[in-house]
Structure 1
Amino acid sequence: MNVAMFLSSRGGTASTADLARAGFSRSQLTRAVAEGVIARIRRGHYGLPQGASAHRAARELGAKLTCLSAAPSYGLWTLLPAQRLHLCVGHRATPSGSVAHGRCRHPRHPWLPVVGLADVLMHALHCLPELEALVMVQCAVGRGDISLPFLRGKLAGNRNARARSVLDLVIPRADSLLEVLANTWFRRAGLQVRRHVEIPGVGEVDFLVEGCLIVETDGEAHLEPRQVKKDRRRNNASVVGGYLVLRFSYDDVVYHPERMLAQVFAVLEVRRRGGFQP
């Protein structure tokens, strides 16, 4: 593996120490810089010459990414990409246009200029709107990367009450951020909801609302032709089995939850009035 390939495998940047541990000598780095294969970002740090990235910006500033800016490094769900850099800068002044976060209390990422996962999530819980923080925490907890008891133990006291309230919304299992958000909206609307219910002849459904209405939350994968055909068969089997069905897309769940809820309540009301009876 040459130095450019190594940098690509490490998010496009690396420290001199990491490069040395990988077996690259200073003379090799000097030659690669002279040939334009890599670029010297600042003393002790190198990167690929093309393009800009959050990792590169963090190394240029001598800072570490955290909160929403660090989510891609850990593969966490997000509703929106970071519009500004969220940074831990230590005792230095915060760069203009960035968001400063408090000091880090846990081991950082082993090679990226990113704080540890626990710090990322705790910063997100204090910084981001409720649902944006929730999907990040849900993703990490659901994969087993971190536990809810651990996070709760780090968030004691009155000033952390809001952060703990977000943890209360985390569910045991969610296959997508859409399930997390839909579950939150349904619960807050007072609906009786069961998740991941196995329906005979249909299979597992995302939600069974009030015991009669199947609700499915469809991400991009459901737009693929094979999946569309499968979903149609499942819809038909659901109706044959005596259930009503509603399907909602990313746009519905994320940007128009009030419309989603209105349709759910409308179907339940029609059923209550006998509208689906012979």
Structure 2
Amino acid sequence: MDIETFLRARAGVARASTLQVAGFSRTYVGKALTDGRIVRVRRGIYSMPREAGLFGLALQHNALLTCLSAAPTYRLWTLHDAGSVHLSPGHKKTPLGTLTHGRCPHPPHPWLPVAGLADVLIHSLRCLPPLESLVMLQCATQRGDVTIGFLRRKLPGNRNARARSVLDGLIPRADSILEVLANYHFRRAGLHVRRHVELPGVGEVDFLIEECLAVEVDGSTHLEPRQVKKDRKRNNATIIGGRLGLRFGYDDVVHHPERMVGEVLAVLELCRQGAFGTR
């Protein structure tokens, strides 16, 4: 494994001691620095060039990366790249073109200019559109990094009502961002939804809606030939088992949720009209 691959698996940054334990000698690290493959953020801290730019900006202004800009450090799910840099500068001004967040009352990252996870999540709730903050929180809470109760206590009063409402969209388990988003949209449409339901002959389906429609949301792995064959068998087994089935991909769930929900509602309406009844 080369040093770039190693760093990418660790949010693009690592201590010198971590690199040495992983088998990268001082000579190897020095050559990687000379070649421009990695950058020294500060003494004993090495990073990929792109990440170093963000850390360097934060260090230059004595600020902390937070919100969406800190998500890669904590390996949180995100819908989009950060775009503008999100900074918490304390009482100082931040550079033009950056997004300024409030102070960070919780301990920061132990060795990077990054806000602590609690502040990163709270800032995201107050800053980002609901779905973008929801996927970050889902990742952190289901890993056990933070609890919903803790976040609720940190968001008191009317001014935090919108932020608290996002917490209602969290679910005990989600295997992907797509499940989080689809669940949010189905619930918002007033549908009765059960998640991760085991169907005889089919296995576990992502959603069972109104007890009659099995819905699966497919990531990129479902485009692989072996998975396509498996999904085809599961689709057939769903129908043979007496239930209808729909599948939606990334583009449907992320970019066209209204269309996705509309198709689900259309099938349910046909069911109510007896369109799929025995003739």
**TM band (smaller chain):** 0.7 to 0.9
In the alignment, structure 1 residue 234 sits paired with structure 2 residue 234 = yes
Partner of 2:214: 214
Change (3 A) 1:47 1:96: farther
Counterpart position of 2:119: 119
* Cα 1:36–1:5 shift into 2, 3 Å: farther
How far apart, CA to CA, are the structure 2 residues paired with 1:10 and 1:201?
A: 40
CA contact (8 A) 2:16 2:44 kept: no
User: 1:96 maps to which residue?
Assistant: 96
Alignment CA distance shift 1:6-1:110 (3 Å): farther
Instruction: Provide the secondary structure at the position in 1 that maps to 2:34.
Output: coil
Report deviation, 1:60. Answer: 3.8
Alignment of 1:14-93 (within 5 A): 32=30, 36=34, 47=46, 50-51=49-50, 53-93=53-93
Equivalent residue number for residue 174 of structure 1: 174
User: CA 1:133/1:244 → structure 2, altered by over 3 Å: closer, same or farther?
Assistant: same
Distance (whole Å) between structure 2 residues aligned to residue 236 and residue 109 of structure 1: 50
TM-score, scaled to structure 2: 0.85
- Corresponding residue number in structure 1 for 2:23: none
1:105 aligns to 2:105 (yes or no): yes
Q: Is the 8 A contact 1:12 1:56 kept in 2?
A: no
Q: Which residue of 2 aligns with 1:128?
A: 128
Amino acid in structure 2 at the alignment position of 1:191? L
1:8 positional shift: 7.6
SS in structure 2 of the partner of residue 172 of structure 1: coil
36 and 48 in structure 1: CA distance in 2 versus 1, 3 angstrom threshold: farther
**1:14-40 deviation per Cα after TM superposition (whole angstroms, max 9, x unaligned):** 7xxx659999xxxx89x959x836756
Structure 1, unaligned runs of 5 or more: none
Question: Against the structure 1 CA distance between its residues 268 and 90, is the aligned structure 2 distance closer, same or farther, given a 3 Å change threshold?
Answer: same
Work out whether residues 94 and 100 of structure 1, in 8 Å CA contact, stay in contact via their aligned partners in 2: yes
Say whether the 8 Å CA contact 1:196–1:205 is kept in structure 2.
yes
Separation (CA, whole Å) in 2 of partners of 1:238 and 1:21: 49
The percentage of aligned residue pairs carrying the same residue is 61
**Separation in 1, partners of 2:258, 2:7:** 45
Pick closer, same or farther for the CA change 1:264–1:152 going to 2, 3 Å: same
Structure-2 separation of matches of 1:60 and 1:94? 10
2:273 paired with 1:273: yes
Letter in 2 for 1:216: E
Aligned residue-pair number: 266
CA shift at 1:56, angstroms?
Answer: 3.6
| RMSD over aligned Cα atoms | 3.0
1:243: which partner in 2? Answer: 243
1:194/1:207 contact within 8 Å kept: yes
Is the 8 Å Cα contact of residues 88 and 103 (structure 2) preserved in structure 1? yes
**Structure 1 residues 60, 229: CA separation in 2 closer, same or farther (over 3 Å shift)?**
farther
Compared CA separation, residues 57 and 272, structure 1 to 2 (3 A): same
Look up the equivalent residue of 2:134 and give its one-letter code. L
- C-alpha deviation, 1:49, in angstroms: 8.3
C-alpha displacement at 1:48, in angstroms? 5.5
